Amino acid sequence: MRRIRLRNSKLIDRSPHRLPVKSTSRIRGWGQSGRVHSAIPTVLALVALGWVLAYLWIPTRSPQTSSPQTGVTEVIQKNRSGSPATDSTGTTASEALSPLDSLSPQMRTIREQLDRLFLKTQWNQAMDASTAHRVARAREDLESYLDSLAEEHVPLLLGLLAEEPDFINRRFLLRALGKIGNDEALAGLLDHFNWAAGNSKESEVKHTVAALAAANNDRSFQILSDYAVAEETETHRYRFVGALTQHSRSADAIGIYSELLTDSSHFRVRQRAAFGMKISGGIAQAHEVETALVDEGNPYVRQSFLGALGGIRDVRSVPLVSRILQGDEVLATRVSAVRALLRIEGDAVVDALRAARDDISQPQRVHEEVLRALDSLGISG
């Protein structure tokens, strides 16, 4: 052993020109004996343990409770009544305290009543007819109670909406907020839409947009209009367009309907735009619908465009509708043409229907529809 140590000691060159090599070897954790320092593995283990603990300590945000960061945030902020209040640390009030944490005694009483009603509305697939009847009655009671609430109850409703786990109960809350329809309620509905859209909850998106439309005021109209054309909400555009057609200011959205007659994002967008033209358009929009109809290839959309022309009732549309009646490849589209002509009325319509009646190449289904149309106009077959 003594000889081995001696030989190893002779390997160490203490001359000045070898100092850099000696220093580098020590950095790598080797001593003069050529062995690893026992402290180095311990230090490395502690560093690794600290990294793991730090990773586990970092809080993660649940995708089910966070609001997705989307490009429509600017639109949401535009439609809010004001910026959320912040404390001295820059934390928003909504982040620091839930509305349910600071309820007055009166609000707590209301919440307790809502909780009881929510429990009564629960059901399962094994319920019998008697249980189903009780649940239906409980839901009617819940909706009636929510209808009695007003603007001062919006913070409570929004707090419940954020924490309610049952999606059926959330629908009742959404409708209640829509019926109240003040700025605070609409801002909360927008936040909920972003959450639902970001988490691909299609049914919840549908009910949230319906709630926005139910407000039926100027603010809700502006929200629906903005979101109907926003690129960030393209996936759900048809829902916003459909909601606009149900709004009392639908006629003010004619420009949006016109723009979306040729929208390529989804055929339902064009269908909803056509329906908007049908109920709110006038003679001035007939040519736009005709042009879109000529270029449209989807038979369902073509039928919607024919319905729009029937609603506008411009006699100048009769020639185009007649050509579709005579030669469209889809039978259902020909039937839609007959119904559009019947709504337009006039001598030109009668001539077109008679021509279709006398055309032996017409399918039986179309021929029967033409005879019914003529009969409703007082013209026998």
Query: What does the pLDDT look like over 224-283, one tens digit per residue?
Result: 999 999 999 999 999 999 999 999 999 999 999 999 999 999 999 999 999 999 999 999
Is the same domain home to 140 and 190?
A: yes
Query: In whole angstroms, how far apart are CA 173 and each of 202, 255, 260, 364?
Result: 17, 33, 32, 50
Is the same domain home to 328 and 254?
A: no
Assigned domain for 292 exists: yes
| Model confidence, pTM | 0.71
CB 256 within 8 Å of CB 222: no
Which of 185, 215, 245 is at the close of a domain?
215
Assigned domain for 36 exists: no
Query: What does the pLDDT look like over 70-128, one tens digit per residue?
Result: 333 343 344 434 344 444 344 444 454 677 888 888 888 998 888 888 888 876 655 56
Assigned domain for 160 exists: yes
Is the same domain home to 209 and 174?
A: yes
Is the same domain home to 291 and 374?
A: yes
Closest alpha carbon to 319 in 311, 77, 107, 327: 327
Is the same domain home to 297 and 381?
A: yes
Q: What is the pLDDT of residue 27?
A: 39
Q: Which domain holds residue 271?
A: 219-281
φ and ψ at residue 182, rounded to 5 degrees: -80, 180
Assigned domain for 6 exists: no
> Where residue 321 sits, what CATH number does that domain have?
1.25.10.10
Query: What does the pLDDT look like over 320-354, one tens digit per residue?
Result: 999 999 999 999 999 999 999 999 988 999 999 99
Is the same domain home to 305 and 342?
A: yes
Does pLDDT of 3 surpass 90?
Answer: no
Assigned domain for 256 exists: yes
Query: In whole angstroms, how far apart are CA 11 and each of 4, 5, 14, 33, 255?
Result: 11, 10, 9, 10, 90
Closest alpha carbon to 181 in 143, 210, 204, 206: 210
Assigned domain for 127 exists: no
CB 312 within 8 Å of CB 283: yes
Assigned domain for 260 exists: yes
Which of 182, 215, 248 is at the close of a domain?
215
Q: What is the pLDDT of residue 287?
A: 96
Is the same domain home to 155 and 174?
A: yes
CB 280 within 8 Å of CB 289: no
Our measurement of the distance from residue 80's CA atom to the centroid of its chain's CA atoms, rounded to an integer in Å, reads 18
Our measurement of the distance from residue 81's CA atom to the centroid of its chain's CA atoms, rounded to an integer in Å, reads 22
Number of domains the chain is built from: 3
Assigned domain for 208 exists: yes
Q: If phi over 0 gives left and psi between -120 and 50 gives alpha, with beta otherwise, what is residue 182? A: beta
Q: What is the pLDDT of residue 133?
A: 80
Helix (H, G, I), strand (E, B) or coil at 36: strand
Is the same domain home to 239 and 197?
A: no
Bridge partners of residue 92, in order along the sequence: 86
Does pLDDT of 135 surpass 60?
Answer: yes
Q: What is the pLDDT of residue 111?
A: 87
